[in-house]
Structure 1
Amino acid sequence: MSNTRDSFHSRIGFVLAAAGSAIGLGNIWGFPTQAANNGGGAFLFVYLIVTLLLALPALYAEVYIGNQAQKNPVSALEDACSDTAPKLGKFAGLIGLCGAVMMLSFYTIVAGWMLAHALSPLAELIGYTDAATWLATSSTTRNLMFTPLFILLGAAIIHQGVNAGIEKWSARLMPILLMMLVLLISYILQQPGAAQGLKVYLIPDFTQVTNPKLIISAMGQAFFSLSIGVGGMMVYGSYMKKDRDIGKLAVSITALDTFIAFMAGLLIIPALYVAQAAGQQVFQDGKLIGEAQLIFNILPELFNSMGTVGLLVAMSFFLLLSIAALTSTISSTEVPVSYLVEAKKLSREKATWLVSAVVLTASMTIIAFFDSLFGLVIRLLTTMLQPLSCLFYFIVVGWLWRRGNKLRDSALQQGRKWLPLWGNYIRYVCPLLLTVVFVNVAILN
C-alpha cells in the first residue's frame, strides 16, 4: 500500500499546531503547581533561563532533525545516524515512540478529569446536582468513562490527517484557548487576595535560584511543557517543507509556549491566594495541599463560593484545560501513527485506532494501579526519558550526523555567520549543561 505523505500547508498552521502540542496541561496544570511549590518568582526566573539555555536548543534540534529527514521520528533518527550508528538511531527513535505512548497513558487520564470538571458546572446549572457531584468527585468509575472518551476525541482528529485534521483543528482551538485564558485572568485579578499572589509570583527570592531541586524541577517542566523528547516536534518538523527557517519557527513556538505558561501562572497562583483570602487552607508547611490535585481540590471550592457566576467561570476554566490537553494529545499520538503509516505501511485510519487501543490499554493499567504507577510514570518521563532524549538529539546534531547536517557543513555555513556559533553551542555547551543536571539528579537521589 502506498501512502502519500501529508504536510502542513502554511507556516502559521505549523506554528499553531506545534504551539498546540507544547501548550497543554504542562503549562496550565504543571507549571503553576511547580511554581507555587518552588518559590514562585524564583521558579519562574530559573524556568525562563533553562528554557532559553536548554529547552529552546532542544526544540530546535528535534524539529531540525525531522525537517531535514522528512520522515517519522524513528526513520529520521536512523537516517541521521546512518554513517555512524544507524541501529542506535533507530533504537532511540523507538524509545521516543514509547515515551509518546507513556505520556499519553497518564495525560489522557488527567485530560479526562478536566473534561469531567468542565461538565460538572453545566450539570449543576441545569439542575442535575447528583450528576454534577459525581463528575467533580474522583473515582475509578469516572476515570474508566472519561479516559476512553478523551482518547476517542484525539483519534477523531488524528485520523483526518495532518492538514485536514491537525492543522485545521489547531487553528480553531488555539485562538479560543488564548481568549479564554485572558478573560479568566482579568476576572481573577479583580478578586480579594489576588495582589498577594501576584507579588509571590512576580518577585523572585534570589536566594532560592541556586537550589538544585528547583533547577531540576524547572528543567523537567520546561521539557514537558514544550513536549520535547518524545518525537512530537520531530514529526511536526517533518511535515514542514524542507529548509524552512527552523530557528525562527523554534523561537516562535518557545515564545508562545512560555507566554502561555507565564499567563497560566498569572491565573492559577493569584487564584490560590484568592481562595486563601476566602478562608480555604491552601498551603501547609510551605507546600500546596494536594499538589498536583490543587486545581481539582482548591479551585472548585473557590468557584463554588462565587455562586452562579462561579459555575460559569469553572466551566470556562476546565474547558480551557480540556482544549489545551487535546492539542497536546494530538501531537503525541501522531508520533506512533506516523511510524506505522510510513514504516509499516498501515492506513492512517488503522494506525490511529491501533495506537489508540495501545494507549487505552496503558491508561487502564495505570488506573488499575493508580497509587503505584501514576506518579512513577510522570517522574520517569519528565526527569529521565525526556532529558535523555534531548541529550541524544544534541549528540546526533553535534556529533553523529555527518551528511545533510548544515550546522556542521562548513561550505553551507558561508555567509551565515550565526550557524557555526549555533552549531557549536548545540555540540558542546548543551550536552555539558544537561550532563551537569544529570549529575545533580544522581546526587539528590
Structure 2
Amino acid sequence: MVKTQFSSRLGFVLTAAGSAVGLGNIWGFPTQAAQHGGGAFLLLYLLLVFALAYPALVAEMAIGRRGHQEPIADLGSLAGGLGRLTGVLGLLAVSAILSFYLIIAGWLLGYMGDAVLKLLGLDWPWLTHFSLGRNLVLGSLFGLLTWYVVQRGLQEGIEKWSRRLMPALLVVLVVLACYVLTLPGGSEGLTAYLTPDPQKLKDPGLWLAATGQAFFSLSIGVCVMMVYASYLDRDASLPRLGLQVTLIDSGIAFLAGLLVLPAMYVAKAQGLQILDAKGQLISSDTLVFDLFPRLFDSLGAAGQLLSLGFFLLLTVAALTSTLSMLEVPTASLVARTGSSRRQASGLVLGAVLVLMALICWQFSWLFGLVVKVVTQYAQPLLGLMFCLFVGWLWRRDGLLKALAEEDKAFASSWFWRLWPSYVKLVCPLLILLVMIQSA
C-alpha cells in the first residue's frame, strides 16, 4: 500500500496540472494549431479535452485512488493479466516519452543559456548548434535535475517544486503574451488563432492530431494520474479535482496559443518566412528552435530579454512534466522491489538515458517515430483500455463508492448520472472512431 500522500488538495492540483502543463501545451499545442488551421484546431481540441480526455482522466484517477498501489498492481487487481500488461505498457510509454522529452528539454537549456550569454555580450555556438554531443550532454543534465527533485520524495520534492514552478510559469506566460500582442503582426496572428475555418474540420489528420494532443496534454494513458491519485486521501472528490486539473491545463494551452501564434505573425511582419508555397507551416516540429531565435535576434536588445523569458518559460514547463514522468516508474520500482527512492529513481533514469542516447544517435528517423507512436497511438489506446476497465469490469456500486466516498451529494449529481455510461460506451467508441478515421 502507498502511504505517501499530498499535503493538501491544492498540492495535488498544482502537481497534477504541472505534469499536464508541459511542452505539449507551450510548444506542441500552438504548433499543432498553426499547422492545422488555427481556430479549427483550438475548437476541436477544447471539445475533445472535455468530451474525451476529462472523462478518461477521472477513470485513470479512480483506478489509482481505488488501489493505492503502483500501476501494475492497481490494474492487475481490476483486470487480471490484461490489466498487468496494460500497466507495464503504460510504464514503458511514459519512459519513452521521458527519453525524447529530455532531448528537447536539453535544447531548451542550451537556448536559455545562449540568451543569458548574449545579454552579457558573450557567445558559445555549441549551446544552440545541433550535434550528438550537445544532445547527450544537455539532455543528461536535465535528467539529473529531474532526478534530484524526484529522489527527495513527494512532499519535499515534487509537490514543493510544483507549488513554486506553476505560478512562475503562469506569470511569465501572461507577460510574454501581452508583450507579443503589442508588436506589429500580433493582431493578425490573434485573428488566425481565434477564427475557425469549418472546412478544416473535414481533415482526418486534424482529428487525430487533436485527439493525441488532448491525451498527451493531460498525461493520460501513461499512469501518471493513476500514481498521483494513489497519493490522495479517501474523501477527495475525483471529478472535482480532475476538472480543476483539466481547466488549468487547457487554460494554459490557450494562453500559449496567444503567445506563439501571434509571435509567428510578428516574425512574418519582420520579413521571416513561416509558410511554404502550399501555405503549410515550415518546420513545425522544430518551430521553437528555427523561427523564434531568428525573431528574437531581429528585435534587438528587447529580443534578447524576450528570448530569455521565452526559453525560461519552456524550461519550467518541461521540468514540471519530467518530474511526473520519472515519478511513475520510480513509484512502481519502489513498491515492487523495496528499493529506496534514490536507488529506484537512479536506475530508471539510467535506463531512460540509454534510450535517449539511442534516439540521439539515430535522430533523423527514430525521434519522430517515437513521438508519433507514443503520443498519437499508444496514449489514446491506453486511455481506451482504462475506460474499458472502469466501465465494464468495475461494478457500478463499487465504482460509486470509490468516487463518492465522503461526498454525500455525489450520487445525485449530474456527473454520476452521465459519467459511468459515458466512460463505458461513448468514450471507447469515440476514441476508436477517431483513430480508425485517421488511420
| Partner of residue 383 from structure 1, selected from 376, 392, 410 | 376
Between stretches 10-19 and 71-80, larger displacement belongs to 71-80
RMSD over equivalenced CA pairs, Å: 1.7
Task: Say whether the 8 Å CA contact 2:384–2:428 is kept in structure 1.
Answer: yes
Matched with 1:104 is 98
Q: Distance in 2 between matches of 1:269 and 1:377?
A: 26
Give the CA deviation at 1:425. 0.7
Task: Say whether the 8 Å CA contact 2:62–2:403 is kept in structure 1.
Answer: no
Matched with 2:267 is 275
| Partner of residue 247 from structure 1, selected from 239, 264, 286 | 239
Structure 1 residues 432, 141: closer, same or farther in 2, change over 3 A?
A: same
Matched with 2:130 is 138
Matched with 1:203 is 195
* Identical positions, percent: 47
- For the pair 1:315 / 2:308, whether they are aligned, the reply is yes
Task: Say whether the 8 Å CA contact 1:80–1:403 is kept in structure 2.
Answer: no
Structure 1 residues 423, 243: closer, same or farther in 2, change over 3 A?
A: farther
Task: Say whether the 8 Å CA contact 2:22–2:317 is kept in structure 1.
Answer: yes
Counterpart residue type for residue 128 of structure 1: L
Q: Distance in 1 between matches of 2:91 and 2:11?
A: 24
Between stretches 418-427 and 155-164, larger displacement belongs to 418-427
Give the CA deviation at 1:4. 6.9
Length-normalised TM-score, structure 2: 0.96
| Partner of residue 19 from structure 1, selected from 14, 17, 20 | 17
Counterpart residue type for residue 205 of structure 1: D
Q: Distance in 1 between matches of 2:57 and 2:185?
A: 37
Matched with 1:120 is 114
- For the pair 1:256 / 2:248, whether they are aligned, the reply is yes
Matched with 1:71 is 69
Matched with 2:52 is 54
Q: Distance in 1 between matches of 2:402 and 2:372?
A: 38
Matched with 2:432 is 435
Q: Distance in 1 between matches of 2:379 and 2:164?
A: 29
Could you report, residue by residue, the CA deviation over 1:375-401 in whole angstroms, capped at 9, with x for unpaired residues? 000010011110110000000100112
Task: Say whether the 8 Å CA contact 1:73–1:234 is kept in structure 2.
Answer: yes
Give the CA deviation at 1:59. 0.9
Matched with 1:350 is 343
Q: Distance in 2 between matches of 1:51 and 1:220?
A: 10
**SS where residue 232 of structure 2 aligns?**
coil
Structure 1 residues 266, 4: closer, same or farther in 2, change over 3 A?
A: closer
| Partner of residue 325 from structure 1, selected from 302, 314, 318 | 318
1:167-182 equivalences under 5 Å are: 167-182=159-174
Give the CA deviation at 1:227. 1.0
| Partner of residue 293 from structure 2, selected from 294, 300, 311 | 300
Tell me the number of residue pairs that the alignment of Structure 1 and Structure 2 aligns.
Answer: 434
**SS where residue 202 of structure 2 aligns?**
coil
Could you report, residue by residue, the CA deviation over 1:90-132 in whole angstroms, capped at 9, with x for unpaired residues? 1100000000101001001001111111110111122322x1x
Q: Distance in 1 between matches of 2:245 and 2:422?
A: 20
Q: Distance in 2 between matches of 1:239 and 1:362?
A: 29
Give the CA deviation at 1:243. 3.7
Q: Distance in 2 between matches of 1:274 and 1:414?
A: 51
Q: Distance in 1 between matches of 2:73 and 2:424?
A: 22
Counterpart residue type for residue 342 of structure 2: E
Give the CA deviation at 1:408. 8.7
Give the CA deviation at 1:415. 4.2
- For the pair 1:163 / 2:155, whether they are aligned, the reply is yes
Counterpart residue type for residue 354 of structure 1: L
Structure 1 residues 239, 356: closer, same or farther in 2, change over 3 A?
A: same
Matched with 1:154 is 146
**SS where residue 271 of structure 2 aligns?**
coil
Structure 1 residues 408, 438: closer, same or farther in 2, change over 3 A?
A: farther
Q: Distance in 2 between matches of 1:425 and 1:34?
A: 28
**SS where residue 406 of structure 1 aligns?**
helix
Structure 1 residues 391, 408: closer, same or farther in 2, change over 3 A?
A: farther
Q: Distance in 2 between matches of 1:243 and 1:406?
A: 14
Between stretches 204-213 and 20-29, larger displacement belongs to 204-213
Give the CA deviation at 1:421. 2.0
Give the CA deviation at 1:308. 1.6
Q: Distance in 1 between matches of 2:28 and 2:161?
A: 24
Task: Say whether the 8 Å CA contact 1:68–1:404 is kept in structure 2.
Answer: no
Between stretches 415-424 and 237-246, larger displacement belongs to 415-424
Task: Say whether the 8 Å CA contact 2:172–2:309 is kept in structure 1.
Answer: yes
Task: Say whether the 8 Å CA contact 1:402–1:408 is kept in structure 2.
Answer: no
Could you report, residue by residue, the CA deviation over 1:321-345 in whole angstroms, capped at 9, with x for unpaired residues? 0010000001111110000111111
**SS where residue 30 of structure 1 aligns?**
helix
Q: Distance in 1 between matches of 2:418 and 2:300?
A: 57
Give the CA deviation at 1:35. 0.3
Give the CA deviation at 1:438. 2.2
Structure 1 outlier segments of 4+, above 6 Å:
408-413
**SS where residue 208 of structure 1 aligns?**
helix
Counterpart residue type for residue 434 of structure 2: V
Point out where structure 2 has 5 or more consecutive residues left out of the alignment: none
Structure 1 residues 411, 336: closer, same or farther in 2, change over 3 A?
A: closer
Give the CA deviation at 1:210. 2.9
Q: Distance in 2 between matches of 1:159 and 1:211?
A: 45
Task: Say whether the 8 Å CA contact 1:70–1:242 is kept in structure 2.
Answer: no
Give the CA deviation at 1:136. 2.0
Length-normalised TM-score, structure 1: 0.94
